[in-house]
């Protein structure tokens, strides 16, 4: 199973399109304004609503159809449940419908805010061509770091957020 996840992560890394180097993605500002939430599509959020003070934001693009995403979500759930977490977790349901996304979120324990991106408008800012993809943003939405492919441990998520 780990070999399969590694192969999928490699495919994802190769399909990042025009943003294949960190120099092209780092420093970009991701604009999220009035995007619908998976938990309540009539409610909308912006990046400012989601940021909590100066905390960093883990913006994770995932889909219910994505096997590595489904394997990664329980790790994010464990990370999100801890009080000492250094970043605010925000999901982006990438090119997926609300019904399957909500079912997967419930099944896998994804309780953090998740934005709907059925049309790919949020992802088009990067562009995202594969999932999972996690961006580390400051409170203004500036990309500090990114990771293509799934995390394999909570410690790995901690190291990513802290910049180690």
Q: Where are the domains of the chain?
A: 2-162
pLDDT at 22: 47
Q: What are phi and psi of 119, to 5 degrees?
A: -90, -5
**CA–CA–CA angle 144, 146, 150 (5° rounding):** 150
**Mean pLDDT computed over 32-38:** 72
Select the more confidently predicted residue: 125 or 61: 61
Peptide bond into 9 cis (omega under 30): no
The rounded Cα 73 to chain-centroid distance in angstroms is 10
* pLDDT level of residue 42 (50, 70, 90 thresholds): low
pLDDT at 71: 95
* pLDDT level of residue 34 (50, 70, 90 thresholds): low
pTM score, whole prediction:
0.80
Select the more confidently predicted residue: 78 or 37: 78
pLDDT digits (tens, 9 = 90+) for 110-149: 998 988 888 888 888 887 777 899 999 988 888 999 999 9
Kindly give the pairing relationship between strand 133-137 and strand 143-148. antiparallel
Cα–Cα distance, 16 to 71 (Å, whole number): 21
The sign of the CA dihedral 11, 17, 18, 19 is: negative
Q: Could you give the C-alpha distances from 2 to 63, 68, 73, in angstroms and in order?
A: 19, 10, 15
User: Do 88 and 51 form a contact (C-beta atoms < 8 A)?
Assistant: yes
Select the more confidently predicted residue: 32 or 74: 74
Determine the topology of domain 2-162 in CATH: Glutaredoxin (3.40.30)
């Amino acid at each position: 199973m780990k070999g399969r996840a590694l192969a999928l992560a490699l495919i994802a890394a190769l399909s990042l399109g025009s943003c294949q180097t960190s120099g092209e993605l780092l420093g970009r500002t991701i604009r999220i304004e009035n995007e619908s939430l998976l938990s309540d599509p009539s409610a909308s959020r912006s990046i400012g609503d989601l940021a909590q003070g100066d905390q960093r934001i883990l913006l994770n693009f995932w889909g219910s159809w994505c096997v590595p995403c489904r394997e990664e979500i329980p790790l994010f759930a464990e990370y999100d449940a801890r009080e000492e977490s250094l970043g605010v977790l925000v999901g982006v349901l990438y090119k997926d419908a609300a019904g399957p996304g909500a079912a997967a979120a419930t099944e896998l324990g994804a309780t953090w805010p998740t934005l709907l991106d059925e049309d790919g408008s949020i992802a088009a800012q990067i562009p995202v061509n594969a999932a999972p993809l996690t961006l580390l943003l400051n409170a203004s939405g500036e990309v500090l770091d990114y990771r293509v492919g799934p995390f394999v441990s909570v410690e790995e998520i901690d190291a990513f957020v802290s910049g180690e």
